[in-house]
C-alpha cells in the first residue's frame, strides 16, 4: 500500500516536471496577460446537451445515465433560440469584457464543428450549426475577448477509458496516445479556425493525477499556433510551466473554502476566480439560489482587490436563451459598474492586503479603497501604504475627506460621510 503510494507520488512529480520546458512567453503573450488583467470581469458559460436535462453539467455521471442513453440527447438538441448577438450584448450590458465558454465538457460532446469526432453539434444534432463560430465572430465584432473551456476528462470516449486504472502514466485500458492526439487535433481546430480566440481554459486534470497529460506538448502546440494565447488549467495546483494565468474555483485566491485549492499556491501569473450565479454551472431548473446583485458586486470587488479577474458563470437554457433571473441581476451589476468601473477596470490589487472593512485597488496614482463592511470606528486604516497621499475623497460625489499619513499607513476619516452600503469607494490620490 505504502509502496504504491510512494510510486504514485513519484509519478505525479515526474509528470509535473515533464511540463517544465522552461517556457518563455512571447512579447505578445505578455501584452495579452496585461490586457487580461485589465479586463477584470468575464462571463463563464456552461452549455451543452446536458442543458436539456436541466440538472447541471454532471447529470450523466450523477444520475448514472449510461453513455449510450445519454448520447441520444444530441438527437434532439436544437437550440433555435440561440443568438450570439444577444449573448454578447448581455455580457457587455453587465460590464463584462470577455467570455469563456465550454467547447467540450466532461460528457465529451463537442459544441463546435470538429473533424476529430462526429459527436458534435453540427454533425450529431438537428441544429446542424456551429454556435461557437457565431459567438467568436460576434465577440470579435463587439470587442469582447473569447476563451474556450476545454475538458481534459472524457466520460465517454473509449480511448480515454474513464475508470481505468493508471499504470506507468497511462490508463491500462483505452488508447492514451490516441486520446492525446484527439485533444491536440481539436485544440488546433479551436485555435486556427475560430477568429480572435484569446485563451484556453483546461479542466479535468484532477480526475487523473497520475497520468502523463503531455502538457509540455499540448501547451507548446498552442503557443506555436498562436503565441499570444493564454493557457490556464484548473488543476487546483500551483501553476506549471507553459501556463499563462492561474485560476481558482468558487474561492477567492488563497481562500480554499471549497477545498479545491489546498495545493494551489498563488503563483506569479495573472489570476482569475470563477463562481456560479446560482449553485450550478450548467442549466439547473431547480436551482433558485440566485446570488444577489450586491453579492456579485462584492465578489467582483473582492477579486479585484486580490488582483484577480472575476469570471461569473451562467448556464443558458437548452433553447439557447438566458433565463430572466440572470439577465435582471446582471443588468443591475452593469449599472453599478457603469458608475464605478474606473475603480475596477485596468486596476491591480494587493497594494495592501484585504482588510476587515474591504479591499484596495489601484491604477497609477489613483488608489481606491472599497469599503464593503462598515467599520466599527469612524475611520479606516490602510496599513503599510507608503505612497504619499495628497487627496482623499468619496468617489461618488467628490466629498473631500480628512486623512492622516503615518509611517505605518494611512487613516481616512469617515465622520462626514454617509456610507454607501454596497461599496463606499474612497479615491486617494498619490503624489
274 lies in the binding site for ligand FHN (CB under 6 A): yes
275 lies in the binding site for ligand FHN (CB under 6 A): no
Sheet holding 403-406, edge to edge: 379-383, 409-413, 403-406
| Min separation Cβ 273 and ligand FHN, Å | 10
Question: Which helix (DSSP H) or strand (DSSP E) does residue 312 occupy?
Answer: strand 308-314
Residue whose CB is less far from ligand FHN, 79 or 315 = 315
Residue whose CB is less far from ligand FHN, 46 or 370 = 46
150 lies in the binding site for ligand FHN (CB under 6 A): no
Residue whose CB is less far from ligand FHN, 153 or 166 = 153
234 lies in the binding site for ligand FHN (CB under 6 A): yes
- Report the residue from 281, 326, 357, 395 that binds ligand FHN according to the rule CB under 6 A: 281
Alpha-carbon distance values, 124 to 71, 120, 128 (Å): 9, 5, 8
| Min separation Cβ 201 and ligand FHN, Å | 8
Residue whose CB is less far from ligand FHN, 57 or 138 = 57
Contact 98, 140 (CB under 8 A): no
**What is the contact mask toward ligand FHN in residues 303 to 332, using x (rule: CB under 6 A)?**
------------------------------
Give the DSSP letter of residue 139.
Answer: H
**CA torsion, ordered 102, 106, 112, 114, to nearest 10 deg:** 140
| Min separation Cβ 49 and ligand FHN, Å | 14
Contacts of 264 (CB under 8 A, 6+ apart): 236, 237, 238, 246, 248, 256
249 lies in the binding site for ligand FHN (CB under 6 A): yes
Residue whose CB is less far from ligand FHN, 62 or 178 = 62
| Min separation Cβ 384 and ligand FHN, Å | 33
203 lies in the binding site for ligand FHN (CB under 6 A): yes
251 lies in the binding site for ligand FHN (CB under 6 A): no
Angle in degrees, CA 370, 376, 377, rounded to 5 = 90
Residue whose CB is less far from ligand FHN, 204 or 305 = 204
45 lies in the binding site for ligand FHN (CB under 6 A): no
Strand 409-413 relative to strand 403-406, pairing? antiparallel
Residue whose CB is less far from ligand FHN, 271 or 389 = 271
Handedness of CA 408, 414, 420, 425 (dihedral sign): negative
Q: Is 233 helix (H, G, I), strand (E, B) or coil?
A: strand
Q: Whole-angstrom Cα distance, residue 154 to residue 161?
A: 8
Q: Is 218 helix (H, G, I), strand (E, B) or coil?
A: helix
393 lies in the binding site for ligand FHN (CB under 6 A): no
What does the binding site for ligand FHN look like in residue numbers (CB under 6 A)? 57-58, 203, 234, 249, 274, 281
Amino acid at each position: 500500500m505504502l509502496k504504491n503510494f510512494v510510486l504514485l507520488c513519484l509519478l505525479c512529480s515526474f509528470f509535473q516536471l515533464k511540463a517544465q520546458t522552461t517556457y518563455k512567453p512571447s512579447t505578445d503573450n505578455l501584452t495579452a496577460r496585461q490586457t487580461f488583467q485589465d479586463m477584470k470581469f468575464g462571463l463563464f458559460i456552461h452549455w451543452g446537451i446536458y442543458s436539456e436535462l436541466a440538472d447541471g453539467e454532471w447529470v450523466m455521471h450523477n444520475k448514472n445515465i449510461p453513455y449510450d442513453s445519454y448520447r441520444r440527447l444530441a438527437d434532439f438538441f436544437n437550440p433555435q433560440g440561440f443568438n450570439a448577438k444577444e449573448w454578447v450584448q448581455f455580457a457587455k450590458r453587465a460590464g463584462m469584457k470577455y467570455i469563456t465558454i465550454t467547447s467540450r465538457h466532461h460528457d465529451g460532446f463537442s459544441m463546435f464543428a470538429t473533424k476529430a469526432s462526429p459527436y458534435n453539434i453540427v454533425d450529431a444534432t438537428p441544429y446542424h450549426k456551429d454556435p461557437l463560430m457565431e459567438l467568436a465572430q460576434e465577440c470579435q465584432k463587439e470587442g469582447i475577448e473569447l476563451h474556450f473551456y476545454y475538458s481534459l476528462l472524457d466520460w465517454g470516449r473509449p480511448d480515454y477509458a474513464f475508470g481505468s486504472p493508471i499504470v506507468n502514466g497511462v490508463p491500462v485500458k483505452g488508447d492514451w496516445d490516441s486520446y492525446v492526439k484527439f485533444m491536440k487535433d481539436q485544440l488546433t481546430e479551436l485555435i486556427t479556425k475560430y477568429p480572435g480566440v484569446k485563451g484556453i481554459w483546461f479542466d479535468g486534470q484532477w480526475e487523473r493525477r497520475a497520468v502523463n497529460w503531455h502538457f509540455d506538448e499540448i501547451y507548446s502546440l498552442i503557443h506555436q499556433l498562436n503565441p499570444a494565447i493564454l493557457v490556464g488549467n484548473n488543476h487546483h495546483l500551483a501553476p506549471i510551466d507553459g501556463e499563462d494565468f492561474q485560476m481558482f474555483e468558487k474561492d477567492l485566491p488563497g481562500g480554499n473554502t471549497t477545498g479545491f485549492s489546498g495545493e494551489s499556491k498563488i503563483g506569479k501569473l495573472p489570476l482569475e476566480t470563477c463562481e456560479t450565479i446560482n449553485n450550478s454551472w450548467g442549466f439547473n431548473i431547480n436551482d433558485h439560489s440566485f446570488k444577489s446583485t450586491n453579492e456579485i458586486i462584492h465578489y467582483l470587488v473582492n477579486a479585484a482587490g486580490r488582483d484577480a479577474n472575476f469570471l461569473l458563470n451562467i448556464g443558458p437554457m437548452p433553447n439557447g436563451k438566458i433565463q430572466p433571473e440572470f439577465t435582471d441581476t446582471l443588468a443591475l451589476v452593469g449599472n453599478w459598474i457603469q458608475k464605478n468601473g474606473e475603480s475596477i477596470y485596468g486596476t491591480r490589487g494587493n497594494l495592501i492586503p484585504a482588510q476587515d472593512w474591504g479591499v484596495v485597488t489601484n491604477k497609477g496614482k489613483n488608489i481606491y479603497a472599497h469599503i464593503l463592511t462598515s467599520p466599527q470606528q469612524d475611520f479606516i486604516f490602510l496599513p503599510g501604504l507608503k505612497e504619499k497621499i495628497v487627496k482623499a475623497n468619496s468617489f461618488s460625489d467628490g466629498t473631500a475627506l480628512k486623512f492622516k499619513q503615518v509611517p505605518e499607513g494611512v487613516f481616512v476619516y469617515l465622520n462626514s460621510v454617509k456610507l454607501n452600503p454596497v461599496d463606499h469607494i474612497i479615491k486617494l490620490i498619490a503624489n
